[in-house]
Structure 1
Amino acid sequence: MPQNFRLRFDASGARGELRQAAAHGLFLGAEHVLGVSNDKVPLDEAALQRSGTASVDDGSLTAMVSYDTPYAVRQHEELDYRHAPGREAKYLENALNGERAVVFALVAAEMRRSLR
């Protein structure tokens, strides 16, 4: 005899868990980019390197990496400045572009982990 089943799935809990996991993955990705960027940031007295921060806006799922010194933008954009070996202009942009796949993998891993 055939039986009928009705299933109701409330995805609101799963949606919230996934959003939290995505935010955490974005934060891990931003921290990773900051670490790679810190390896390339121009050094004099390391004030620029120490001013780096990573953060996430949970509401918009946007990650931010920034450096907070008066000369951070100039150091980043000025291609004619001479830097110590291994240090470079575009330190943040190059770190983000080079580590994009790692950031995606970190976000995906956190989201998969939340579904267990």
Structure 2
Amino acid sequence: MAMRTRLDWNGPTVTARQHSGAVAGLRQAAEHILGASRQLVPLEEGTLERSGVASVDENDLTAAVSYDTVYAVRQHEELTWKHDAGRSAKYLERPMTSERDTVADLVAAEIRRSLS
């Protein structure tokens, strides 16, 4: 007894959905890191904290979190400076490390959601 099976391949559709899920996941992940870093960023007047932005390059599937003041890098790297309680140098690096698993979960969840 012969059996027949039919397979419809929707590769381009799947690829497009996967890409849009990855973009959405990266956007959520970058916003998550931005929020976590804002909890640590040195705070005097709030200028540095307000300068933080999250961005996503949809073509390269990369995300970035950045702070845009003339002193942002120095504040991040200078380990000897004193900060208010709960605020610190490495305000961006620390969340990037501590939130690594959460970031991966956010991206994976959005990709799965886009494929369902």
TM exceeding 0.5: yes
Q: Please tell me the residue identity of whatever aligns with 2:46.
A: A
Unpaired runs of at least 5, structure 1: none
* Alpha-carbon distance between aligned partners in 2 of 1:3 and 1:88, rounded to the nearest angstrom: 67
* Alpha-carbon distance between aligned partners in 1 of 2:17 and 2:87, rounded to the nearest angstrom: 39
Post-superposition offset of 1:115: 1.3
Map of 1:22 onto structure 2: 22
* Alpha-carbon distance between aligned partners in 2 of 1:92 and 1:2, rounded to the nearest angstrom: 62
Unpaired runs of at least 5, structure 2: none
Please tell me the root mean square deviation across aligned C-alpha atoms, in Å. Answer: 0.9
Aligned length: 116
**1:70 aligned onto 2:70:** yes
Q: Please tell me the residue identity of whatever aligns with 1:43.
A: L
Deviations 1:59-92 (A, max 9, x none): 1100000000000000000001100000000000
SS in 1 for 2:56: strand
Q: Please tell me the residue identity of whatever aligns with 1:108.
A: A
Post-superposition offset of 1:6: 4.0
* Alpha-carbon distance between aligned partners in 2 of 1:2 and 1:38, rounded to the nearest angstrom: 64
Q: Please tell me the residue identity of whatever aligns with 2:15.
A: R
Deviations 1:15-71 (A, max 9, x none): 011011001101100000000000000000000000000010011100000000000
Matches within 5 A, 1:19-98: 19-98=19-98
TM-score by length of structure 2 reads 0.96
TM-score by length of structure 1 reads 0.96
